């Protein structure tokens, strides 16, 4: 446990575009809205968040590695990398941190290539199809398993 109680919220490729296109799938909230929601949900439980969005797989890998010892848990929406990245799977497996995988949309009701996530096998919990409220659920779930 870090002294302050930190949750790392990682968002992957294209999630910086939230709210600007495809509202029927992803809603109208922006990434800033998502990050504010996460900060509020964490604060309600006495935690703080570190929010990072990147379109680059290596940046996400570096953040996961850096989380060991500096964060207490991880919420991750790796976007399309979820369906392709063994490297992100390995990075999450290498850190001993409670992890919740989030997808805004119900990936199982979409194209076949979205049905499998390399992250799900190493996440403690997977939340799909709850819209951006999935991030709040993810933080509440993490907090429920972390000492505080």
**According to the binding rule CB under 6 A, does residue 54 interact with ligand CA2?**
no
Instruction: Identify which of residues 71 and 104 has a Cβ nearer to ligand CA2 in the complex.
Output: 104
Structure tokens at 10: 């990682």
Task: Write down the least CB distance from residue 140 to ligand CA2, Å.
Answer: 18
**According to the binding rule CB under 6 A, does residue 120 interact with ligand CA2?**
no
26 part of the active site: yes
Task: Write down the least CB distance from residue 126 to ligand CA2, Å.
Answer: 11
Whole-angstrom CA distances from 131 to 13, 59, 67, 70, 72 are: 17, 25, 25, 28, 24
Judged by CB under 6 A, the stretch of 17-25, 37-45, 57-65, 68-76 that binds ligand CA2 is 17-25
Q: Cβ distance 96 to 68 under 8 Å?
A: yes
Report the distance separating Cα 4 and Cα 12, nearest Å. 25
**According to the binding rule CB under 6 A, does residue 65 interact with ligand CA2?**
no
**According to the binding rule CB under 6 A, does residue 103 interact with ligand CA2?**
yes
77 SS3 class: strand
Taking the CA atoms of the chain, what radius of gyration do you get in angstroms?
14
Instruction: Identify which of residues 50 and 103 has a Cβ nearer to ligand CA2 in the complex.
Output: 103
């Amino acid at each position: 446990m870090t002294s302050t109680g930190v949750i790392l919220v990682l968002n992957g490729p294209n999630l910086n575009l939230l709210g600007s296109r495809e509202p029927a799938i992803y809603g109208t909230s922006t990434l800033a809205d998502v990050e504010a929601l996460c900060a509020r949900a964490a604060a309600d439980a006495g935690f703080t968040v570190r929010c990072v969005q990147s379109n680059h797989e290596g940046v996400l890998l570096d953040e996961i590695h850096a989380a060991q010892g500096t964060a207490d848990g991880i919420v991750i929406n790796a976007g399309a990398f979820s369906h392709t990245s063994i490297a992100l799977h390995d990075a999450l497996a290498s850190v001993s941190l409670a992890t919740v995988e989030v997808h805004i949309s119900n990936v199982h009701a979409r194209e076949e290539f979205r049905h499998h996530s390399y992250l799900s096998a190493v996440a403690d919990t997977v939340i799909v199809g709850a819209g951006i409220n999935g991030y709040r659920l993810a933080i509440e779930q993490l907090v429920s398993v972390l000492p505080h």
